[in-house]
Amino acid sequence: MPMSTRRTIALTISALLLIGAACAVVGVLSELLLWPRPLANAGQLLYRAVFWFTLPGRLVIGRSFPAGSKGLPMGPLIVSAFATPPLLFAVLAGVQRAFAYLRRQRTRKRASGLARRDFLGQGAAGLLIVSGGALGGYTTFVEPGRLRVVHYDVPITRLPPELDGFRIVHLSDTHHGPYITLPYLEGAVARANALEADLAVLTGDYVHRTPRSIPDGIGIFRKLETRLGTVAVTGNHEFWEGIDTCRAAFAETPVHLIDNARVFLTRDGITQSPEARALCMGGVGDLWEDEVRFDKATADAPESMPRLVLAHNPDTAEHVPPRLRVDLMLCGHTHGGQVCFPRIGTPSVPSRYGSKYAGGLCQGPQCRVLVSRGVGMAILPVRFRVRPEIGLITLRRTQQAIARDMPCRVIAAPDPRAEESA
């Protein structure tokens, strides 16, 4: 074998090993949340790129990184990081040889018309590649950071006059972990605080992929500032990463955790005893991992008292007992599907009911459901035409009974960066 060939092979192998090592280091630092704080956002963007780059290696070794994995899959991560560069190199080499063969074939019987068609075909292929790269970059690096505020006006039958105009800020699915950094969440919390709401509600999935995300992923809510405070329920990811640790983390914050429990809201505060002019704020456990107890979520609430219920999974609305009064259920979980194609819609929603509860205001069998499209991401680090969002809900008093098909209003936010939700 000629010396130049051996040198080329050695350089190629060295380059592939260096690329694999770099991908492995980025993956480990991101999965273990080890990036220094000043580098957290840059590390997150690097990890999103590494995720897509190493995806072929993960598929080949038969292991992806499922959301909710109970341990850190460091082995598959490192193997895929080193396996992907040679795999892609082999594929690209094969493609190059195929194109070289076709080029030789065309050269033998080239005609002027054929040459022009070849030029147009190559131009179209190049445009397609550039467009695909631009779209991938936008969905991975740009849209996931375009947090918006969506405002809702929600009529509530016989809401106490003191609570007419009561404002609730809704955050869900913050998913602190490899995809979502603490600085990004601090920005989201600051954005929520700027809305000057009366109450904040949280509807689950605050951590992602690793128990190391629990202290900061839940502790961040100490910084929420509303007039009355914050209430929350847990989601499936809290169970997957360690529910006892998550509940202990909540106990160190001022947040009221109301899984299968309730509190009562008045204009002046949160109380444990029903009052004449109050609203019942209940919460139920996660549909996948916990008990769902509507009896505990509405305990001691008179039938005449309005009731809002927090539930992580919107499919919970299908389990509301008949004739139980629930004026509005607030949920998360689906992230709006994270991807919504024009005309096609959302290809995948983690719900047994398709796109019914993908996001926004929905109608369940017994009550209205408001589903947040979430602040963070899970499974894949991508959003397309489904921007992350914070909800601002204004309760409006109405004397008439709310018909099942009576629409709530979705109004444009005064914040110029926000936009109306469809």
The residue type found at 83 is A
Contact in structure between 199 and 241 (CB atoms under 8 Å): no
Query: In this structure, what are the phi and psi dihedrals at residue 282, rounded to the nearest 5 degrees?
Result: -110, 165
> In the chain, pLDDT over 90 holds for what percent of residues?
65
Directed axis angle between helix 182-193 and helix 40-60, to 10°? Answer: 120
Contact in structure between 264 and 271 (CB atoms under 8 Å): yes
Greatest Cα pair distance, the chain, in angstroms, is 92
Query: Quick check: helix, strand or coil at residue 362?
Result: strand
For 175-199, write each residue's pLDDT tens digit.
999 999 999 999 999 999 999 999 9
- 246-262: b or e for each residue (b if 16 or more CB lie within 10 Å)? beebbeebebbbbbbbb
How much is the pLDDT for 416?
A: 36
Q: Is 291 exposed, middle or buried (CB count within 10 Å of its CB: 0-12, 13-18, 19+)? A: exposed
- Report the mean per-residue pLDDT for the chain: 87
> Taking 90 as the threshold, does the pLDDT of residue 70 lie above it?
no
Q: Match domain 148-411 to its CATH number in 3.10.350, 3.30.110, 3.60.21, 1.10.10.
A: 3.60.21
Q: Which pTM does this prediction carry?
A: 0.86
pLDDT band at 417 (very low <50, low <70, confident <90, very high): very low
* All structural domains of the chain with their residue ranges: 3-109, 148-411
Write the DSSP string, 176-195.
Answer: BSSSS-HHHHHHHHHHHHTT
Q: Which two tokens stand for residue 326?
A: 């629930």
Lowest model confidence (mean pLDDT) among 29-38, 98-107, 115-124, 129-138: 115-124
How much is the pLDDT for 133?
A: 80
Contact in structure between 388 and 148 (CB atoms under 8 Å): yes
How much is the pLDDT for 72?
A: 44
Distance CA 303, CA 57 (A): 57
pLDDT band at 89 (very low <50, low <70, confident <90, very high): confident
For 134-166, write each residue's pLDDT tens digit.
998 999 999 999 999 999 999 999 999 999 999
How much is the pLDDT for 420?
A: 42
Residue for token pair 């950071």: 145
More confident residue, 415 or 273: 273
Query: In this structure, what are the phi and psi dihedrals at residue 208, rounded to the nearest 5 degrees?
Result: -155, 125
How much is the pLDDT for 92?
A: 72
